[in-house]
Chain A
Amino acid sequence: QVQLKESGPGLVQPSQTLSLTCTVSGFSLTSNSVHWVRQPPGKGLEWMGGIWGDGSTDYNSALKSRLSISRDTSKSQVFLKMNSLQTDDTAIYFCTTRSAYWGQGTLVTVSS
């Protein structure tokens, strides 16, 4: 069955870079897109960006200068890197595919 699981550091210092991994199973990354969505505590959902089956990427224009999404198909992993983190980047970060399948999310807190 389709599964996605996010992993990464729970705490990041301001101005540092966030690196998250989404490990997937039950589907092929070369045939499906994977997207990153985040949700600040108590707030709504924000689509951050995605990587398509052909490896091309799209980003939220508000984050584009700081964000990079990549993948390793041999390991069934998708990566998110975002630099220059600030406190308002504190959020639960989800990876999702086909809209119907979501990881459990990982809370990232930006604090010194």
Chain B
Amino acid sequence: DIVMTQSPSSLAVSAGETVTINCKSSQSLLYSGNQKNYLAWYQQKPGQSPKLLIYWASTRQSGVPDRFIGSGSGTDFTLTISSVQAEDLAIYYCQQYYDTPYTFGAGTKLELK
């Protein structure tokens, strides 16, 4: 199974700050056949289902604000949230869909400082 390691596990921020969440996979998620990284980022707020933010490591889902930026390739990935808003306080998960089982990272909780 591919292991997804997220860091940090929690992050205290002030509104307007830029934050970076890291996700590392135990094997490459880059498929040579199409040069795509099979990595997604989700946001989950209390009592809600996960919301897809980013897929193919860097493609923003429709309707997601452009302050959410996904980057990285191979085994190392980053979710950057620029100018954090109060509505961004949530738990963020990365997930690989390169191979089953489609494993998730443990999550990063974004809290208010």
Contacts and interface: CB of A to CB of B under 8 A. Distances in A.
Interface of A: 35, 37, 44-47, 49-50, 58-61, 94, 96, 99-100, 102-105
A21 B16 CA distance: 43
Contact of B104 (A47, A59, A96): A47
B100 A50 contact: yes
B93 A45 contact: yes
B84 interface: no
Given A99-B40, A100-B61, A45 B101 contact: no
Main secondary structure of the interface of B (DSSP, over half): loop
Contacts of B100: 50, 58-59
Nearest to B97: A99
Given A99-B52, A102-B49, A44 B93 contact: yes
